[in-house]
Chain A
């Protein structure tokens, strides 16, 4: 105390100058440390923003799709009534498109090939289904609406650009001209990609959807929840409320904590050896996946339930 008052009374003393210098240094160290902490948080948040931003930026175009309407003349010469499935509908659609675009096919079929590259095969399937339902359409003109092929769709979404050298992109200048023309006369419309939610996986991007995957995940999830939740809650109730404190319950407790940290791939190996190899449950069935996921989720459910039970006042 006396030192402090002396120091205050005598600000020019050597000891006090040294102390002030030290204090400055210590405060600088303090600021650096704080800045480092802040930097760490900022880095973590930047990672988060980049991760989410990148996924959204790359993924959101999935929800938009471009459809084309084209009047198709069902030429009776090209359609064999006795073998409807064997008809080349893709070519009939291509013919209709060439007529609409005002171009002629050459002997090698180059133009019709280029036109077919713009349209999804869905057009052909639609025609087949229409004819199967009603044969009297042959000789008439029907309007078909379907998705553009993925490359053409990407052109409208700006992923394929005209400025790219012609050889480096999937569509050539003529195809891009056609697409511009179709857009100008209003036959190409952009809309929400409902097919993404109603179709299953497909090798053709414009027809691919998530339905199959979603249904599979849901089935697996239901089985997992049906097993893991009741068993986990009951086990937690026992351990928290009934179990006597002894060696045996200690073993169970340590065991559960360790299980929670076992890598998921080890559970996969367990499922393979136990359910598929030993019990002969069919491969890739939701049952196997659900059972393995239930075993994997069990420790987490038990630990979470126990801490919830612990939080209830005695």
Chain B
């Protein structure tokens, strides 16, 4: 709130600087704008930028890191009363002090006696620190704004090359925007690696990547059964792979065939109607697909298999079919396949269309039918691109979250049976991280290990696919 308010004040100050800078330039030119090096507005903008940008940066940085600095200062002195508490409780103590000082809801922990006294003292301290930080930030911003203005304003005269300076500022702004994308990647990699590294300190990376048992429950008491928790991710990879395979079995033929039909056979009108309809499928949010899978496809498939089981002569197979559950891998796979159809078909469509017409004409001239041309000329020419499209679809299927969260199960199993319930990497990340979690337990941190694996796998798939596409495009352009 304070930041917003001060940013608005800063914007007003910048506006004043603009007016002042423009006025000074016009006055310096004696009212004849032709004498000036640049248009008068550039002088105003120059002054406004110097007055606004450095101070705004300070305000944004202060807001972003303020909470962190405040916590660090708060925790620099630890009251004697909390020395007996364990580390987690100490952290709760400090975050409560912070929350009360900031008028937010603290945790439900009750404090009594010495602790209560210590907490009250810390709350007062937190309020003081926050006041100091805020005052410091505002004062710093004010000084920067004034200094920037005072630096820029005297420079303005008729010969000053204001336009070039403003262009310089603009290109810095544009470059920093395009660097934002690189910073995002860096942020993803660093945060995943950092948290995974913390995870791998308590769990051996080899046993994580190759272990075959996944049960991330950390026991409340040390003597509880299965208190260690098992973090072998192979069953999750197997489940992800199974669902991905089922999805591709639906999406690849349907998507590819519809792309071929649309680009080679369909009339202009059919194409104009069907393409937007397929795009609707692509525009449906995945949570709706998940809903559809869990509430419509799941019960439908179960009823279907139960009916088949009832019709079969009694035996182990019939009994098995009678007992299948809603959360079978097949349901998630089929619905994910539906989601991927437009993705596969539009990518393949682009690639088939970029095969030069001369290749087709040559084939027709030899007397080949349309289907022969497609099978023997167009598809081989488009094959690398289609492979790339399939790889991108696979990467989408592996990273897809909502459908599997709603339609797949939670039980980690190594199976290739599509009627069994399996769980995937993404489902486990969601279940590990939803709700309030402590950040130090291997249970929570294992989500980052899974996330890192997922990121690396999808990144490899994407890079390979993009490479293939680039190489292929160069052949025909």
Contact = CB atoms under 8 A, between A and B. Distances in A.
Interface of A: 26-27, 29-30, 32-34, 36-41, 43-45, 47-48, 50-52, 54-55, 58, 230-232, 234-235, 237-239, 242-243, 251-252, 254-259, 261-270, 272-274, 277-282, 295, 298-299, 302
B254 A40 contact: yes
Interface stretch (B38-46, B116-124, B146-154, B273-281): B273-281
A255 B181 contact: yes
B178 A263 contact: no
Contacts of B375: 33
A44 B254 contact: yes
B401 A273 contact: no
Contact of A44 (B173, B258, B295): B258
Interface of B: 64-65, 67-68, 71, 104, 171, 173-175, 177-182, 184-185, 187-188, 191-192, 194-195, 253-258, 260-262, 264-265, 274, 277-278, 280-281, 284, 288-289, 291-292, 295-296, 338, 341-342, 345, 369-372, 374-375, 392, 395-396, 398-401, 426, 429-430, 433, 439, 447-448, 451, 454-455, 458-459, 462-463, 466
Contact of A279 (B67, B257, B426, B439): B67
A37 B277 contact: no
Of the candidates A44, A242, A281, A282, the one having the most CB atoms from chain B within 10 angstroms of its own CB is: A44
16 contacts: A29-B369, A29-B372, A30-B371, A40-B261, A51-B338, A234-B177, A238-B177, A257-B466, A262-B399, A272-B433, A273-B195, A279-B64, A282-B104, A295-B187, A299-B181, A302-B181
Contact of B68 (A29, A242, A252, A279): A279
Nearest to B189: A270
Contact of B280 (A48, A258, A266, A280): A48
Nearest to A23: B369
Contacts of B181: 235, 252, 255-256, 259, 298-299, 302
A34 B265 contact: yes
Nearest to B263: A37
A171 B447 CA distance: 45
Nearest to A296: B184
A26 B372 contact: yes
Given A29-B369, A40-B257, A234-B173, A239 B454 contact: no
A259 B180 CA distance: 11
Given A257-B466, A258-B185, A261-B458, A269 B178 contact: no
Nearest to B95: A280
A219 to B, nearest CB: 14
Contacts of B174: 234-235, 237-238, 242
B67 A281 contact: yes
Given A32-B371, A50-B296, A277-B439, 11 more contacts: A38-B265, A44-B255, A51-B288, A51-B289, A232-B177, A261-B462, A263-B454, A265-B399, A268-B433, A274-B191, A281-B67
**Chain A's interface: helix, strand, loop or mixed, by majority?**
helix
A40 B180 CA distance: 42
Contacts of A281: 67
Given A255-B182, A265-B399, A279-B65, A37 B463 contact: no
Contacts of B192: 266, 269-270, 273
Contacts of A238: 171, 174-175, 177-178
A237 B264 CA distance: 36
Contacts of B185: 255, 258-259
B257 to A, nearest CB: 3
B325 to A, nearest CB: 21
Contacts of A251: 182
